[in-house]
Structure 1
Amino acid sequence: MRTSPRRIGLLGGITWHSTLVYETLLHEGVAETLPGRTADLVIRHYDFGAIAAAQEAGEWDGLAATFGRDARWLVDGGAEAILICANTMHVIADEVEAAAQVPVINVIDETAAAIRAAGLSTVALLGTGFTMRMPFYRERLAAGGVEALVPDEPRLAEVHSLIYDKLARGVVEDEGRALTRKATAELVARGAGGVIAGCTEIPMVMTAEDVDVPYFDALALHAQAAVRFALED
């Protein structure tokens, strides 16, 4: 075990609420193993409004170029691995890793590993409309032996709206809690044995205490993997 943590680069601000949770979990995780020490981080924090507009316009190539350039900047600042602090932006994870030339710790891989360890193969996936509609997340889970079920329309659109119109702005309401629980219950009825909180804002309205099936907090699993990387020999 190392006596000082490796430096981790965060591509954050997607949203700022979740980036603060990442930072907290990383610091706490390092301190738990190395009392008196905290995580060694370098951070590129984005204006979420600009990111959201680019996502809506489908400017994924431009986002990949920006994130790749910024990841390289973090590496120049000493980062030995990169965390993309958002599930949706893992659509460009391979491009970011190619640009950075250091590992991008992938939230999908870490989530799939936790699901397999729990003995499950089919789970519900709640996230942004991009995460649920685009194939990248479900295909990478499938490569890890996990099938993900997503809501049908219009429920899918309702979850997406909850994330961008409410949670990304820090607005947490009972209606959001009811929606995520209802969406999860519908997917469990279709055969899901657990649920992935596949957006870093979902835990704002749904935690393990709110569901009757295994709950996989992708953000927490991602942060745990980063702590392991920071501390391993």
Structure 2
Amino acid sequence: MRKLGLIGGMSWISTQTYYRQINRLVQKQLGPVASPPLLLETLDFRDHYDLREDAQWEQSSKELSETAKRLEDGGSTAILITSNVMHKVYEDVAAAVSVPVIHIADCVGKKMAADKIERATLLGKKSVMTEGFFRKMLVAHGVDLMPPDAEAAEQLDRIITAELKLGKATRDAERALKTIITVNEQQGAKAIILACTELEQVVDIDANVLPIYDTTRIHCEAAADWILTED
């Protein structure tokens, strides 16, 4: 198996999800006692929690890039950023290393294109829903994204930041997500892109009114494929 590097800690909730899912995917192929060679460095989430100014993003980008270099030096043959939001600095991180950095939205776009899903709603942190760094990658694969709803973006930002990233999954959050998904179905969405790792705590990915494209699950599948592919 090929060694994979993970940049984690944003949040620890998402990091454990990546670790668990990648291990289970590898075990599904190689048996219940198999465990993939993973190199994990977790960052202090306080330094990447609420970035607003350009200078803050530049510092965060520098730290992720330095982490990626250490993972490469440790023998990682590819790297994952275990956060949707932090793919905002993807290009800087990818430029800092000579090994591939597997882009989460690229993986999702490829899968949706293969499934011929054209009209979808993107749900996640406000920056993921509204800024171009994530949306443009999906659009490049032919995915027609519905315009972001400003009110839903604010609501989701609050739920994710104040509750889910702290491991607090409430019934109110479950009801809020169910309502948002139902409204989007009524407005013509053919699929939901769940672009926040922590949202799995309040959304039943496998039993919903619309197909759910969980970016974390798809990213982990790409990671397992990489690990299991022979050089």
Q: Counterpart in 1 of 2:171?
A: 174
Residue 33 (structure 1) aligned with residue 29 (structure 2) = yes
**Aligned residue runs from structure 1 range 145-224, under 5 A:** 145-209=142-206, 211-224=208-221
**CA–CA distance in 2 between the matches of 1:179 and 1:210?**
16
**CA–CA distance in 2 between the matches of 1:79 and 1:26?**
15
Q: Counterpart in 2 of 1:118?
A: 115
Q: Using the TM superposition, give the Cα deviation of residue 56 of structure 1 relative to its aligned residue in structure 2, in angstroms.
A: 3.4
CA RMSD, aligned part only? 1.4
Which amino acid in structure 2 is aligned with residue 183 of structure 1?
I
Are 1:18 and 1:201, in contact at CA under 8 Å, matched by a contact in 2? yes
Are 2:130 and 2:148, in contact at CA under 8 Å, matched by a contact in 1? no
Query: Residue 41 of structure 2: SS of its match in structure 1?
Result: strand
**Aligned residue runs from structure 1 range 48-63, under 5 A:** 48-53=45-50, 55-58=51-54, 59-63=56-60
Residue 23 (structure 1) aligned with residue 28 (structure 2) = no
Which amino acid in structure 2 is aligned with residue 15 of structure 1?
S
Are 2:47 and 2:60, in contact at CA under 8 Å, matched by a contact in 1? no
Q: Using the TM superposition, give the Cα deviation of residue 34 of structure 1 relative to its aligned residue in structure 2, in angstroms.
A: 2.1
CA deviation profile, 1:43-85 (whole Å, cap 9, x unmatched): 11012222113x2344222211111111000000111100000
CA deviation profile, 1:141-162 (whole Å, cap 9, x unmatched): 0011112225422221010100
Query: Residue 56 of structure 1: SS of its match in structure 2?
Result: coil
Q: Using the TM superposition, give the Cα deviation of residue 210 of structure 1 relative to its aligned residue in structure 2, in angstroms.
A: 5.0
Of the three residues 83, 86, 94, the one matched with 1:86 is 83
Q: Counterpart in 2 of 1:128?
A: 125
- Report runs of 4+ in structure 1 exceeding 6 Å deviation: none
Query: Residue 224 of structure 1: SS of its match in structure 2?
Result: helix
> CA 1:180–1:210 in structure 2 vs 1: closer, same or farther (change >3 Å)?
farther
CA deviation profile, 1:164-212 (whole Å, cap 9, x unmatched): 0000011100111111111122222222100011001111111234521
Are 1:6 and 1:230, in contact at CA under 8 Å, matched by a contact in 2? yes
Q: Could you tell me which runs of 5 or more consecutive residues in structure 2 were left unpaired when the two chains were aligned.
A: none
Give TM-score, length-normalised by structure 1: 0.93
Residue 100 (structure 1) aligned with residue 97 (structure 2) = yes
Query: Residue 83 of structure 1: SS of its match in structure 2?
Result: strand
State the percentage of identical aligned residues.
Answer: 28
Q: Counterpart in 1 of 2:70?
A: 73
Query: Residue 208 of structure 1: SS of its match in structure 2?
Result: coil
**CA–CA distance in 2 between the matches of 1:177 and 1:78?**
41
Of the three residues 41, 46, 50, the one matched with 2:43 is 46
Q: Counterpart in 1 of 2:3?
A: 7
Q: Could you tell me which runs of 5 or more consecutive residues in structure 1 were left unpaired when the two chains were aligned.
A: none
Are 1:151 and 1:183, in contact at CA under 8 Å, matched by a contact in 2? no
Which amino acid in structure 2 is aligned with residue 158 of structure 1?
Q
CA deviation profile, 1:90-114 (whole Å, cap 9, x unmatched): 1111211110211011110111122
> What number of residue pairs does the alignment pair up?
228
